Structure formats: C-alpha cells, structure tokens
Structure 1
Amino acid sequence: MLKLLNSFISASNTILWSYVLIVLLIAVGIYFTVYLKGAQFKFFGQTFKLLGGGKPKDGKGVSSFQAFCISVASSVGTGNLAGVAIAVSVGGPGAVFWMWLITLLGAGSSFVENTLAQVYKVKDKNGYRGGPAYYMEKALGKRKLGIIFSVLITISFGLVFNSVQANTITFAFEEAFGLSRLYGAIIIIALTSTVIFGGVKRIAQVAEVIVPVMAVAYVLVALFVVFKNISQLPHVFTMIFEGAFGLKQFTGGGIGAAIMMGIKRGLFANEAGMGSAPNAAAAAEVTHPVNQAIMQVFGVFLNTIVICSATAFIILVSGANQQEGLTGIQLTQTALSSEVGAWGNIFIAACTFMFAFSSIIGNYYYGESNIEFMNGSKTVLSIFRFAVIGMVFIGSMASLDMVWNLADLFMGLMALLNIVVIFKLSKIVLKVIQDYAAQKREGKDPVFYVENVDGLVNVECWSKDREKIQHSA
C-alpha cells in the first residue's frame, strides 16, 4: 500500500514539477519582467546601500539584512552542492546557462511576492510577520485560501524538509568523520532547540552570522580553484555556451536535457515565486516595501548566480564531470578534493552542515509565521516546535524517500497557489514600484504611506495615522 502511494505521489510530482510549474514559473517570470519594466534589474544598484541597513528603531523585530539572511538560510541548502552536480552530470555544462537565465527571469516573481509581503504584513509582539497567507487574506479577502497555503508550507518546509536536511548532515558527518548518526542527531537537536526556542530574534541573529560565513567561505574556495586553473576558464565558458546552444547537442537531443536540468535547478535553488521567501521578507522593518524586495532579489542572485555557479565551476574546471558514475554530492566532493587535496572532503562536510542547518532554522521560521496566521496559540506553537525536533531526529536516523516525495508535492501545490495569487495582485505591485521610483526621481529616500497609493485596502502597517500614534506613544 505504501509503495503504491509513493508511486502515485512520485508520478504527481513528475507532472507538477516537470510540466505545470516549470511552464508557469517561466511564463510569470517573463510577464513580471516585462510588466514591471525590469524592476529586478533597474533597482539592483540600491542593494549595497540597503545591505548596511540599521536595526529596528523599537528594538523589536528584525532588520532588513537579518530578514534577508533568514530567507537565504532557508533557500541555500545541500541542493546548491548536490543539485548543481546532478544538473551538470545529467544535462551537461549547458545546464549552467539555463540556470542563469531562469534566475534572471525568476527574480521578477521574487520582486512581486516580496513587495506584497511587505505591504500586507501585520504587527505582532516580536515586530512584524506576513507572507502569502497574509496577502491572500488581506488583498483578496480569502482567509481560507491563506489557511490552505499555511498548512502546505508548514508541513513541507517546517517539518518534512527539516528532516531531509538533518538526514543530509548526519550522512555527511558519518562519511567524513565516522561520527555515529545517533550522536549526529543529538548534536543537531541540541543546536536546533537552542535556536528555535529563542524565537525570531535568535533565529535572525544566528542566520545573520551563518549566512555570510558560509557564502563567503564557499565562494572563496571556488575562486581559489578557478584562479588555480585560470587558463581553463575560456574553455569552461565555451563548454557552457556550446552545451546550451551547440549543434551537436541539438541534433543529439542533449540540448533538451540541458534546458530541463538548468531550469529545474534554477527554480529549486532560488525558490523565486514559490511563496517561501516572503515569509521572512515580511519580518523586516524598512521604510518602503520595495527596499526589501530589492534585498530579496539579491538573495535570488546570491543563491544561484553566485553559489550554484561556484559549484558548477569547481566541477567543470576539475573535469570530474567526465568520470563515469559520479553524481550529486559525491561529484562535488571528488571535484574539490582533486583541486585542493583531501581537506576538500572535510570542507564539503562543513559546508553541508552550515547549508543544511541554516535551512533548518529558516524553514522553521516559515512554519512559525504560518502557525501564527492560522492560530497564534502559544500551546500550538510549542507543539510545532517539539514536532520540528521530532522530525529532525527521525530525519537524522531514517531513509526518507516517500516523505521527501510528499514534501515536493506539498511545495509544488504551495507554489502553484502563490503564482496564481501574485499574478492577480501584480497591479498593486506596479503602483507601489511607481511610488518608489517617483520619490527616487525627486532625490528622496523613499518612504511608503498607504494613503499615497490608490486602491489599497486592509493595509495595517503603513498609514500616516499609525506612524503618528507610534511616535506619540
């Protein structure tokens, strides 16, 4: 019975991810890029100014940078190491080009969903919270739709994906250091408990440390490998572009595999349009919703254009992709070890830990935010926290093929729901962007007030009256 159910779930995932979602995510990515006149590129220069944004004025909530780190923590996972390796081994070097292209288009969807998350966020005792469930309720007036989304993201990200990340950590440490999976589970549970029972502030503080360290360390090692083999770099780019457009690949059918693997890797890695990152984006205190959208777009580029590309270059420069039978994390480990020596295995294990553990705490936050939307009870939240700990333990010790397939299905349905909603609400985003751009043209540091944009209803946190009340309190 379980085998039959797993086969059904797997078949459903194939249809959903290989046909429906890929077409929709590409289509809305192109649509948003054109409709918003390339907003994801137009305002990209503001990123580096916003990266140094200050802490929240009231000492509560999280800064723009911390919210950015939470979303990157969740989206940057072991897929950046193993997933890219699979894309290159199955789709060839050309998959890297299509990964880049889908990221540039997908950034438009990211801009829309994260702007909406900021516009429709709500105030709570810890600062702010929001995300797709919140804009489904407030912008569309469909709370039941928001509850459906909350259930999907809480189960897939908050519970199941965390078990998979824990599974990856214990396997990596057993392989690299001979550490018992039980001891590995105990370590992960202790660290996870310390962070998630400390609330959103502690999650933000930990993410703020882990994300820059893991990203910079990994990219620096990748740059070392590239510069060590600098003479091969033109050949690597030739392989990528020939693999993407070459006549040989086209006639042999290889170009189809390159396109499919590159697109899937790009979509899975950056999660643009899927409705996950907006849950973190809403927590930030910023002066204008577009500011946080710009930050989240930078996260999409960092995740795919930088970190995934780093993995691809390590593999292609080393030539490990030419070896038979190597794929996934094993291919990445072999490629790096061949360039830097035996410590490459240890480094990949350390990266696996940082990438996967950061995903656990980021995924947990997505679940917490949506638990708050559905119920808000402290008892329910405590039960959820213990459920996360339980799933981390199960994931550390067990094989999770069926659970992973189920999580993919839930995430696919979640993404499908979010895509339809952000498409319907894109007019609101255009007005908010126009407000931002008009203030920039006047030389102002943009400040958003709901009264300045026609047609916005059920917006709680951006009124002039609310700001006056807060200042007088």
Structure 2
Amino acid sequence: MSALFAFFDAVSQAFRSFLGAANDFLYSFILIFLLVIAGLYFTFRTRFAQFRLLPDAIRSMTERREKGTVSSFQALMISTASRVGTGNIAGVATAIAMGGAGAVFWMWVMALVGAASAFAESTLAQIYKVRRDGEYRGGPAYYIQKALGRRWLGVLFAVLLIACFAFGFNGLQSYTITSAFAPYFGASLAPYAPAIIGLVLAAGTALVIFGGTQRIGFITSFIVPVMAIIYMALGFVIIGLNIQKLPQVLSLILSQAFDLRAIAGGFAGSAIVIGIKRGLFSNEAGMGSAPNAAATAEVSHPVKQGTVQVLSVFIDTLLICTTTAFILLFSGVQGSESLNALPFVQAAVGSQVGQWGVGFIAFSVLAFAFSSIVGNYCYAEGNLLFIRDNKTLLTAFRWVAVAAVFFGAQADFATVWDLADVLMGLMAIVNIVSLFALSKTVSLAERDYTRQKREGRDPVFRPAQIGITGADCWEDGTPQ
C-alpha cells in the first residue's frame, strides 16, 4: 500500500512540475506578446474605441429590452461577476508579493490596452449569437464556427473553456473561500472545514445554476455592484488614513515596473509577467470568456454591448484591483512567499482598521468568489450546449460542476493556480488568433455604428448592408 501511495505522490509531483513549466513557457514566450500585440492592433483598428465610445456604454445599459430577455446591464454584471473574484483580492496580493509593486503597473496596462480586445470579442459575440429556448447564446466557439467555418476549432475552444471555468477557476474560487473561513472553525472543527464549506458552496451553486441564465443575471446584478461599492469604500478609508504616502506608493509602482535588473534575473518571475498574468486572470480581456455573457444581451447593435464589456474591464482592474493594490501598498505590510494571497490582504486591512477588517475581507471574498462561481458556470454551460444541445447531458454536467465546487474546497493551492493559468493561456491563444482573422468584421461593425451615431440616429444593425454574412440571428436590424 505504501508503494502505491508513493507512486501516486510521484505522479502528482510530476504533474505539478509539468504545469509549472508549461505555465512559464506560455506566459514568457507566447502570451505576453500575443496579448499586447492584439490589444494594440485593435486599439488602432477600432480607432481607440475603448476610450472614444465609453460614454455610449452608460447609455446602452439603460435601454429598454423585451420582457424575459437579459438586459445589457445584466450581461455586464454576469461578465463582471466572473471577472470580479479571487483575482481582484488574492490574485493582486500574490502579484505584489511575488512580483513587487511594479506588477500593478502592468495590470493597468493590460486593462487599458486589452480593453480593445474585449471590445472586439464581445462585438463579434453579438454579431454571431444564436437564439435557443428563448435565450441568446454566443461567444468565441460560435463565431469561430459561423464566421471561420471551423467547428473543430470552436469545439476545442469550448472544451478548454469548460475545463478552465467549471473546474480550474471554480475550484480556485472555492479554495479561496475555504481559506478565508477555515480559521473561524476552531481547533476541533478545523479538519472538517473544507468539507463543510464545500458542501455549503455546492448547495448554493446548485440552487442558482438550476434556475437558468436569468436567475444568474439577477443574482450577479445585485451582489456585484453592492459589494464592489462597499469594498472600494474600505479602500478609500485606508488610503485616506495614509494619504501622505501617495507620492511614495506611485513612485514605488513605477520604479519597480521597469526594474531591468530584476527582469534580467528571471523574466518569468518579473513584475511584467506576473502583472500581465494576474491582470489577465482578473479582467479576462481577450481571453474569450466575457463574450459568452455579452452574447446574451438584447441590444439593437452589437457594438453597444462591445462598449459595455469595455466598461467591465475597467471596473475590474482600474477600480477593484487598484483598490486592493492600494490597500496593500498604503498599509506598509510587506508581502512575501510565506505571506501572500488572502492572508496578505487580511494582514494589511487588519493593521489599518482592526480585527473587523479581517472578517470583512473574508465576507468580500465569499461574495465576489460566489458570484464568480455562478458567472463561470454560465460560460461553461453555453459552451457545453455548443458542443451538444442535450437536456440530459446538461443536467449531468450541472451536477458535475456542483461537485467540482465541492472538491475545489479541498484542492492544493499551487496546483489549482497553475492549472487555471495554463488553461486560461490556451484559451486566450485560440481566441486571439480567431480575433485577428475576424478583425475586418469588427471594423465594419464599429464603422457602421459610428456612422449612424454621427448621423444622429440610434444605431441599428443590418449585417447584409455592410457586407457581413453568417449573422443569422439578426434580421432587419432586430435580433431574432
């Protein structure tokens, strides 16, 4: 029996080593360049749409919709719910502890540049969405098949997304919630904390996901904005208590962002790589996940939802991630390999506002991570239905996804992070290559929208008039 345990331990160690090596290779030699090039390319191709059309995002969220459909605001909250999770708290803390304050700068860069990719992918998701059972579905798998005619590639993307979100990301969210609340169980119950928390999370997840997309939209449209506002308010309090440190903090971020000696010492562990990696995990710009939510909205023109999804990237990184970063840097608490992720944030908050702040961070993690779990599931379900639309299969998958939430609470921290990063990277590669291939379609839609706005009209999408084919869901300017 001991030999068997030794064998499984050796396999586990080998798997972790493989994930670590694949992680370093993907982000050091492929993804960074793809993400930056894609972001810059679509920034210029869409004429800085992520900034120029940002006011339109606010107006789009207030538009009326048909009863029983997902509103533009609800689609925004579903995507923001998936984005706003452990990456905004534990992920930022890990980035600063391992990569230094300079990682924050590269997270900002990823948001500003990557928002153009988010605009492109979400616009495409709207153009090529489909309607099934009274609800819209769409995303990279759909536009890869309909616009590029490569179903096999769409299926590959769908499989990667399902593995990444239903198992990798949701396991990570569940693990983080467990690590936040396990200390409150006491010595006698501590060994059972992961199982108890996992059961509660699994039950809550089942209750929501068996209610369909509209229930997910309702839950996330309430939790996300309320918790984001409260969390940022705490950040403002801590910044206000230490406002004299503002020049010092900004100087630290900029100086460490361009520390050439640190970069030369190990590019894979530099502020650039860690900042971009954690930035991508947090805001998901260009990764191909948020378009699955963008496609569910009822709008008159695809570009409207493209602009709304840009807003989601900015909310995630420029507001919530920055709040966490400033809490850590203004507190003066130093992160390290032994003090990172959630304990780093709790130590920083506790040093400023007392013990109640530690409990508040635990509750924030619960709210953000649970909203991410249901948002992530929404993405996975849409891609499962792309592969095969079968009610029996869907029901079985829902129970498997619930089980993944339970087992995630018992997972190994390093393995779950590395697995999520590798799957996220592979998804992003497939999606970005597809975005480049469909860049003309994005440009046609953006120019059509801008022209109609310039003429003083409320833009309405008529794909045939601008040379876009395959947009079967749209007819005479109305999605069918």
Give the TM-score range, shorter chain: over 0.9
Change (3 A) 1:92 1:408: closer
Letter in 2 for 1:349: A
Q: State the match for 2:135 in structure 1.
A: 127
The residue aligned with 1:164 is 172
Structure 1 unmatched ranges of 5 or more: none
Aligned counterparts of 1:31 and 1:362: Cα–Cα separation in 2: 29
CA deviation after TM superposition for structure 1 residue 117, in Å = 0.2
CA distance in 2, matches of 1:318, 1:118: 43
| Aligned mate of 1:117, from 120, 125, 131 | 125
Alpha-carbon contact 2:82-2:372 (below 8 Å) kept: yes
Aligned residues: 462
**Alignment-derived partner of residue 163 in structure 2:** 155
2:16 pairs with 1:6: yes
Map of 1:26 onto structure 2: 36
Structure 1 residue 43, shift from structure 2 partner: 0.4
The more displaced of 234-243 and 335-344 is 234-243
Q: 1:351 aligns with which of 357, 364, 384?
A: 364
**Structure 1's 67 and 320: CA in aligned 2 closer, same or farther, altered over 3 A?**
same
Counterpart residue number, 2:54:
44
Do the aligned residues in 1 keep the contact of 2:106 with 2:272 (CA within 8 Å)? yes
Distance in 2, Cα, partners of 1:69 & 1:11: 35
Which residue is equivalent to 2:469? Answer: 457
CA distance in 1, matches of 2:244, 2:349: 18
Residue identity in the other structure for 1:17:
Y
Question: How far, CA to CA, are the matches of 1:37 and 1:237 in structure 2?
Answer: 30
1:295-444 equivalent positions in 2, closer than 5 A: 295-321=308-334, 325-399=338-412, 401-402=414-415, 404-444=417-457
Equivalent AA in structure 2 for residue 419 of structure 1:
I
Q: Which residue pairs with 1:202 in the alignment?
A: 215
Query: How far is 1:403 from its partner?
Result: 5.1
The Cα of 1:125 is off from its aligned counterpart by: 1.3
**Partners in 2 of 1:52 and 1:446 — Cα distance?**
15
Specify the alignment match of 1:63 in structure 2: 71
Asked if the contact 1:73/1:358 (under 8 Å) is kept, the reply is: yes
Q: What is the deviation of 1:26?
A: 0.8
Distance 1:412 1:430 in 2: 26
- Once residues 197 and 354 of structure 1 are traced to their aligned partners in structure 2, the CA distance between those partners, rounded to angstroms, is 19
Structure 2 CA distance for partners of 1:252 and 1:165, relative to 1, 3 Å:
closer
Q: What's 2:82 paired with?
A: 74
Secondary structure at the counterpart of residue 66 of structure 1: helix
Corresponding residue number in structure 2 for 1:175: 183
Pick from 295, 306, 313: which aligns with 1:293? 306
CA distance in 1 between counterparts of 2:19 and 2:272 reads 25
Post-superposition shift, 1:60? Answer: 2.5
Cα shift at 1:265: 2.3
Going from structure 1 to structure 2, the CA distance change for 1:285 and 1:351 (only over 3 Å counts) comes to same
The equivalent of 2:4 in structure 1 is none
Deviations 1:185-205 (A, max 9, x none): 222122111100001111111
Structure 2 residue runs without a partner (length 5+):
1-10
Cα displacement (A) at 1:176: 4.1
8 A Cα contact 1:40 1:297, kept in partner: yes
For 1:5 and 1:253, locate their aligned partners in 2 and report how far apart those are by CA, in whole Å. 27
Alpha-carbon distance between aligned partners in 2 of 1:200 and 1:150, rounded to the nearest angstrom: 18
Q: State the match for 2:8 in structure 1.
A: none
Which amino acid is 2:41 matched to?
Answer: Y
With the length of structure 1 as denominator, give the TM-score of the two structures.
Answer: 0.93
Q: Give the aligned residue type for 2:389.
A: G
1:200-251, Cα deviation, whole Å (9 max, x unpaired): 1111110111110121111111011111222222222222223334xxx445
Q: Which moved more, 1:445-454 or 1:172-181?
A: 172-181
C-alpha deviation, 1:141, in angstroms: 0.9
**Aligned equivalents of 1:343 and 1:465: distance in 2?**
53
Q: Kindly tell me: are residues 265 and 132 of structure 1, through their superposed partners in 2, closer, same or farther at Cα, counting changes over 3 Å?
A: same
Counterpart in 1 of 2:201? Answer: 188
Offset from partner CA, 1:242-268 (integer Å, 9 cap, x none):
3334xxx44565896232322222222
Q: 1:261 to 1:465 in 2, by over 3 A?
A: closer
Residue 265 of structure 1, aligned match among 278, 286, 289:
278
Matched to 1:70, the amino acid is I
Of all paired residues, the percent bearing the same amino acid is 48
CA separation in 2, counterparts of 1:441 and 1:399? 54
1:313–1:136 distance in 2 versus 1, CA, 3 Å: same
* C-alpha contact (below 8 Å) 1:72/1:303 kept by paired residues: yes
> Closer, same or farther in 2 for the Cα pair 1:261/1:50, shift >3 Å?
same
Deviates more, 1:346-355 or 1:226-235: 226-235
Secondary structure of 2:317's aligned partner: helix
Structure 2 vs 1, CA of residues 320 and 53 (structure 1 numbering), >3 Å: closer, same or farther?
A: farther
The alignment partner of 1:123 has SS state of: strand
Using the alignment, how far apart are the partners of 1:266 and 1:293 within structure 2? 20
Counterpart Cα distance in 1 of 2:75 and 2:261: 46
8 Å CA contact 1:99, 1:266 repeated in 2? yes
Map residues 131-150 of structure 1 onto 2, 5 A cutoff: 131-150=139-158
How far off is 1:401 after superposition? 4.5
Partner SS, residue 460 of structure 1: coil
- Measured after TM superposition, the shift of residue 424 of structure 1 is 0.6
Determine the C-alpha separation between the residues in 2 that align with 1:287 and 1:121: 13
> In 1, distance between residues paired with 2:477 and 2:113?
38
Find the counterpart in structure 1 of residue 5 from structure 2: none
CA drift at 1:324: 8.6
* Alignment-derived partner of residue 288 in structure 2: 275
Say whether the 8 Å CA contact 1:84–1:308 is kept in structure 2: yes
Q: 1:74 deviation in Å? A: 0.9
Cα deviation 1:255-311 (Å, max 9, x = unaligned): 962323222222221111110000010000011111111110011011111111001
CA contact (8 A) 2:57 2:305 kept: no
SS, match of residue 409 in structure 2: helix
Secondary structure at the aligned position of 1:275 is classed as coil
TM-score, normalized by length of structure 2?
0.92
Q: Structure 2 residue aligned with 1:104, among 102, 107, 112?
A: 112
- How far 1:94 moved relative to its partner? 2.3
Q: Is the 8 A contact 1:274 1:414 kept in 2?
A: yes
Q: Which amino acid aligns with 2:165?
A: F
Query: Could you tell me how far 1:388 is from its partner in structure 2?
Result: 0.7
Change (3 A) 1:86 1:163: closer
Contact 1:176 1:345 in 2 (8 A): no
